[in-house]
């Protein structure tokens, strides 16, 4: 493809939760200078001109932006399909009704488990009840609802109950996404990686539920990369179909690429079209010319594109290496050892989880919004 069809707009990395599997950057202080409303408006216009059709509004917690309704309205007016990815903390009825009127198309709500105590423990704060109430509000207002559950060693055994919860709340789609090990999840990998027996048991449950619910609910199940024979085709290929704009305006080919030692590109410095076409962060691994062996001569080189560059960098220190998830990679033993440890009889299942820091005392928005003559008034 010559242009991306999806934009992940990470409006803020601030979040009331403290999930230990969060893939947001560890250096949160580097993203406090958030794009203002007018800057996001320009990004949306440039994204639309570039060919983007879908705008996914994420974070952190995007509801912490006072101007979220205005950003949604601008995206809608440009003809973009808008999807709010949220913990739902802060999704009050007045805010939800404003978002509905602004043209928001879809809501995806994360929840950590089906059981309140387990869910609240993983999230780091009491949140389960508010999430369930928010799901009811989403359905009442007529939105399609996706329920997202990040699976890991501490909740994957409850997948049958998680699916029952999805039925109870009337979810149209449920994402059962095993943890991908970036950010805080990378720091907590040894405590989060499930065993092979846990995965096999969960897959049986998911298959049965898919067959039973095929006419009522889409079920997406993503296994951990570490248990795959081949790597996933990350983002459909580097800088091929989607792009990410971070809270401070950095542009990335995927949400985890902030960890790579590549030159920075920012919407505060250059137009989005120029960044997409020419910025080194976008061109570094686009296509197949960059590939080393065994990828270069592999029949799958245009199927999985060498796997995940961020994962290769985290595991080997070299973003140009074959993703060690691949069994053909010369570094595959790095993954094999982690899997072996996760399945060891002597494994200690009380390994501590390092929670992602949350700062609930922060004001709802850090960036002032300049006055706009003739504007629509307060975005609150």
19 is in an annotated binding site: yes
Q: Using an 8 Å Cβ cutoff, are 231 and 308 in contact?
A: yes
Measured distance CA(59)–CA(86) in Å, rounded: 8
Beta bridge partners of 55: 7, 82
Measured distance CA(302)–CA(170) in Å, rounded: 38
* CB < 8 Å & 24+ apart, contacts of 160-167: 160/205, 160/209, 161/114, 161/115, 162/113, 162/114, 163/205, 163/206, 163/209, 163/213, 163/219, 164/114, 165/111, 165/114, 166/217, 167/213, 167/216, 167/217
Residue 373, Cβ density class (10 Å: 0-12 exposed, 13-18 middle, ≥19 buried): exposed
Closest CA to 224 of 198, 255, 263, 257: 198
Other Cβ atoms within 10 Å of 43 Cβ, number = 25
Residue ranges of the annotated binding site are 15, 19, 22
Binding site for [4Fe-4S] cluster, by residue number, is 15, 19, 22
């Amino acid at each position: 493809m010559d242009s991306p069809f999806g934009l992940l707009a990470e409006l803020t990395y601030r979040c009331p939760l403290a999930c230990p599997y969060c893939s947001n950057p560890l250096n949160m202080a580097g993203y406090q200078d958030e794009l203002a409303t007018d800057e996001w408006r320009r990004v949306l216009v440039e994204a639309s001109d570039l060919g983007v059709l879908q705008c996914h509004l994420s974070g952190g917690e995007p509801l912490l932006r006072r101007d979220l309704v205005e950003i949604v309205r601008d995206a809608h007016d440009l003809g973009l399909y808008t999807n709010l990815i949220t913990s739902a903390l802060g999704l009050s009825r007045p805010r939800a009704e404003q978002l509905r009127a602004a043209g928001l198309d879809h809501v995806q709500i994360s929840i950590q488990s089906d059981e309140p105590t387990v869910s609240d423990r993983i999230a780091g704060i009491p949140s389960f009840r508010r999430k369930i109430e928010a799901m009811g509000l989403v359905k009442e207002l007529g939105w399609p609802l996706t329920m997202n559950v990040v699976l890991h060693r501490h909740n994957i055994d409850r997948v049958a109950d998680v699916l029952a919860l999805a039925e109870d709340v009337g979810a149209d789609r449920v994402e059962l996404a095993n943890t991908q090990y970036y950010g805080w999840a990378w720091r907590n990998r040894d405590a989060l990686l499930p065993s092979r027996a846990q995965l096999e048991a969960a897959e049986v449950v998911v298959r049965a539920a898919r067959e039973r619910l095929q006419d009522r609910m889409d079920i997406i199940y993503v296994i951990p990369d570490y248990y795959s024979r081949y790597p996933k085709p990350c983002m459909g290929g580097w800088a091929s179909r989607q792009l990410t704009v971070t809270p401070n305006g950095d542009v990335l080919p995927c949400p985890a690429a902030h960890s790579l030692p590549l030159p920075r590109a920012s919407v505060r410095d250059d137009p989005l079209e120029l960044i997409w076409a020419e910025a080194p962060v976008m061109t570094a691994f686009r296509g197949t010319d960059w590939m080393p062996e065994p990828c270069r001569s592999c029949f799958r080189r245009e199927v999985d594109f060498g796997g995940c560059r961020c994962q290769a960098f985290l595991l080997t220190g070299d973003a140009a290496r074959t993703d060690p998830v691949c069994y053909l990679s010369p570094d595959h033993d790095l993954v094999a050892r982690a899997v072996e440890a996760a399945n060891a009889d002597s494994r200690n299942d009380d390994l501590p989880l390092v929670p992602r820091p949350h700062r609930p005392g922060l004001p709802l928005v850090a960036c002032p919004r300049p006055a706009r003559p003739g504007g629509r008034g307060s975005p609150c």
